[in-house]
Amino acid sequence: MDDPLLRLPPLDPLRGFVAAARSLSFTRAAAQLCLTQSAVSRQIQTLEEALGVSLFVRRTRALSLTPEGERLYRLASGWLRDYGDLAASLRADRPNLPVTVTASLGITALWLLPHLRDFQTRYPDIDVRLASSNRVVDLRREGIDLALRHCVDSDAPAGSVRLFGETVFPVASPSLGLTELTRDTLPTVALMNYDDPNFPWLGWADWLATLGLEGVRPRAVLHFNHYDQLIQAAVAGQGVAIGRAELLSDLIAEGRLQPVGAARRQVLERGYWLIGASDTPREEVACFRDWVCEAATRTRSAAEGLTGPG
């Protein structure tokens, strides 16, 4: 039997094609889909071979769509969006479906969880499921309603909401009695370093140079690969950390941490974003989304008290 379905080109590579066509970047498409760049490239090559046309014009530093690619993008992007919306509406018909939220481990531990009690008090009938991970996930494919992500502003998907930016400065427990890092005080304390090359502003090398202390040795250096654990150690008085004002404003207000010195550093063109899986979320998801935006407004106000408006 000659079924037309058997003659269709492969459908799975369409996701890679639409992501690459939307961003005009195989690298950004790979990050959005949690794939490698080579995997996205292979998907698009498979699609081009099946269709017998080139979909992209590949240049050294630029990527653009061919006329055939533009036609496919207009059709496929709308179809995938409608399919995703249908899947979301079908899931919404299930009773007692919780609002599923993903965020990095640090954002979850230091910002979302401390505020979540307020949401539970105000909306006791809405269940929330937290899917904490440092991995960037495909929201629709994994059945996730909302994501809280720290990213470059230009990488935030269309329709996302910028919650707040990022300002950093040294922090420590008041129990250390440390108000400033100097040539006299630095040798008496441990510095706690966040070992992630993607976040150099949370390491101490640049800070010590800025303070003119690059040649002074601290008592010790502790290294962490999870930011929330680093902050827990700072609260316990184990050393001095580079604090993120927006995530730590509550801990500072409670007196569990305090700024060390007056230096402040704005992290430009980066921020914390709220990303939705659907443009038309169900009522419970919209309620949680609005609550997150309200909580973020309070966070911005508290952080400005620590850093000054800007």
The answer on 18 and 73 residing in a single domain is yes
Q: Residue 180 has what pLDDT? A: 95
The answer on 299 and 259 residing in a single domain is no
Which residues are CB-neighbours of 91 under 8 A, at least 6 positions away?
97, 143
CB atoms within 10 A of CB 86: 10
The answer on 175 and 160 residing in a single domain is no
pLDDT band at 78 (very low <50, low <70, confident <90, very high): confident
Q: Residue 247 has what pLDDT? A: 95
E strand or H helix at 48: helix 37-51
The answer on 32 and 144 residing in a single domain is no
Instruction: Assess whether pLDDT exceeds 70 at residue 3.
Output: no
Residue 167 in contact with residue 303, Cβ under 8 Å? yes
Q: Which residue has the higher pLDDT, 27 or 270?
A: 270
Q: Residue 9 has what pLDDT? A: 78
Q: Residue 310 has what pLDDT? A: 40
pLDDT band at 11 (very low <50, low <70, confident <90, very high): confident
Please report, rounded to a whole number, the percentage of residues in the chain having pLDDT higher than 90: 52
The answer on 288 and 229 residing in a single domain is no
Instruction: Assess whether pLDDT exceeds 50 at residue 90.
Output: yes
Mean of pLDDT values over 204-233: 92
| Domain containing residue 196 | 167-266
Mean of pLDDT values over 252-257: 94
Q: Residue 235 has what pLDDT? A: 97
Q: Residue 86 has what pLDDT? A: 78
Domain end call among 92, 112, 142: 92
Q: Residue 93 has what pLDDT? A: 58
Q: Residue 28 has what pLDDT? A: 85
**Which domain CATH number covers 51?**
1.10.10.10
When mean pLDDT is compared across 93-97, 181-185, 265-269, 282-286, the lowest value belongs to 93-97
Instruction: Assess whether pLDDT exceeds 70 at residue 94.
Output: no
Distance CA 186, CA 260 (A): 11
In angstroms, the Cα distances linking 303 to 113, 166, 310 are 18, 9, 10
The answer on 279 and 137 residing in a single domain is yes
Number of domains in the chain: 3
The answer on 150 and 273 residing in a single domain is yes
Instruction: Assess whether pLDDT exceeds 50 at residue 116.
Output: yes
The answer on 143 and 287 residing in a single domain is yes
Instruction: Assess whether pLDDT exceeds 90 at residue 171.
Output: yes
Distance CA 225, CA 197 (A): 10
Domain end call among 44, 76, 92: 92
The answer on 36 and 61 residing in a single domain is yes
The answer on 112 and 183 residing in a single domain is no
| Mean pLDDT computed over every residue of the chain | 88
Domain end call among 92, 125, 156: 92
Q: Residue 309 has what pLDDT? A: 44
Q: Residue 163 has what pLDDT? A: 96
Mean of pLDDT values over 250-266: 93
Both tokens assigned to 210: 């800025």
E strand or H helix at 56: strand 56-58
Q: Residue 218 has what pLDDT? A: 96
Please report, rounded to a whole number, the percentage of residues in the chain having pLDDT higher than 70: 94
Mean of pLDDT values over 81-97: 71
pLDDT band at 259 (very low <50, low <70, confident <90, very high): very high
**Which domain CATH number covers 189?**
3.40.190.10
Give the number of C-alpha atoms closer than 13 A to the C-alpha of residue 309, restricted to the C-beta side. Answer: 1
The answer on 44 and 193 residing in a single domain is no
The answer on 113 and 235 residing in a single domain is no
